[in-house]
Amino acid sequence: MVYMPYFNQWRNGTHNLVGAVSEMQQIFGVEPPVYSRPQQQPPAPTPVTSHSVVRPTPSSTNVSNGGNPPGYDDLQAAINASKREEEERVLQQSMENSKMEQAKLESKKEAEEERKAQREREEVKQKLHSNIKSFYNMERAKIISELKKQKQLEKGKVIVEDQLDELKERKEKLQSAVATVNETNVQLELWIGTVESQKKELKKNEDVDALVTTVDLHSQQMLDLSCKNASISDCLYFLDRALVKGTLPLDVHLKQVRKLAKKQFLTRAHLMKIAEFRAQNQA
């Protein structure tokens, strides 16, 4: 089983088997997983037991042991045991190396996951900070707008209260004025009733011509002249009517109109002189 970052970061568009083999060659060239050991020479005979093994001479060979000297089997067993111990040691060392490599890979993986989690935490933190900032700005704008509206409402409240006070004062004045007007109306109705009753009594007893009287001579003259002026105007009106209807000839109409117009002119001039005289006397 082989683990490499090349396999962990595999992408279909950029990775292939040729690249994987090249990557393994580079890694195995730095740290070869299999290597040969130099052949060891058989060690010198060592005491295996409490007694020493004496190297046999050629003259003391035993035929029954197949031509091997005495103690050869024990020596061979010791060599084999040493080989087995060496192999076990190498196997154990390789297992320890494998565990170390696995631990390194796991630590790298954990470090990578930690870095990834840290990046994700930073991204989440930045997003959360951005969202909080935008929410703060939005709510701040709303609060400022609401405060402005509140100030406007307070100003409007003061204005409305002032207007209410003014309207209350006006209402009191109007109520007092209405009461005064009602009293005056009652008095006027009583006075009108009295005057009407007096008029009725006067109509029964007095003449129409005696209703208007003058206080001095000039007033009497102005009243007479005014009546004369009005009568002349009425005559001119009826002369025009007669001319229009054809009951009066044109020459007679012109003659009478000229005559009445001259009288009316003199009457109005006389009125103007009396008015100027009265104005000078009053001044």
- Taking every pair of C-alpha atoms in the chain, what is the biggest distance, in angstroms? 210
More confident position, 97 or 226? 226
Q: Which of 32, 25, 23, 19 is nearest to 4 (CA)?
A: 23
The full set of domain ranges for the chain reads 1-32, 212-282
Mean pLDDT over all residues of the chain? Answer: 81
39 or 122: which carries more pLDDT confidence?
A: 122
Write down the pLDDT at residue 4. 79
CA distance 131 to 127: 6
pLDDT score for 38: 59
- What distance in Å separates the CA atoms of residue 195 and residue 101, rounded to the nearest whole number? 134
pLDDT band with cut points at 50, 70 and 90 for residue 93? confident
HEC letters along 73-112: HHHHHHHHHHHHHHHHHHHHHHHHHHHHHHHHHHHHHHHH
Angle between helices 217-245 and 250-282 (to 10 degrees): 160
Query: Is the pLDDT higher at 120 or at 27?
Result: 120
- Is 250 in a helix, a strand, or coil? helix
Structure confidence at residue 14 (pLDDT): 83
Q: What is the full DSSP assignment across 215-234?
A: SSHHHHHHHHHHHHHHHHHH
- In this predicted structure, the answer to whether residue 108 has a pLDDT above a threshold of 90 is no
Mean pLDDT of 94-103: 82
At 19-72, the pLDDT tens digits run 888 888 888 877 776 666 655 555 554 444 433 334 444 444 444 444 555 566
pLDDT digits (tens, 9 = 90+) for 128-159: 999 999 999 999 999 999 999 999 999 999 99
The C-alpha atoms of residue 75 and residue 53 are separated, in whole angstroms, by 9
Q: Give the side-chain half-sphere CA count within 13 A for 275.
A: 9
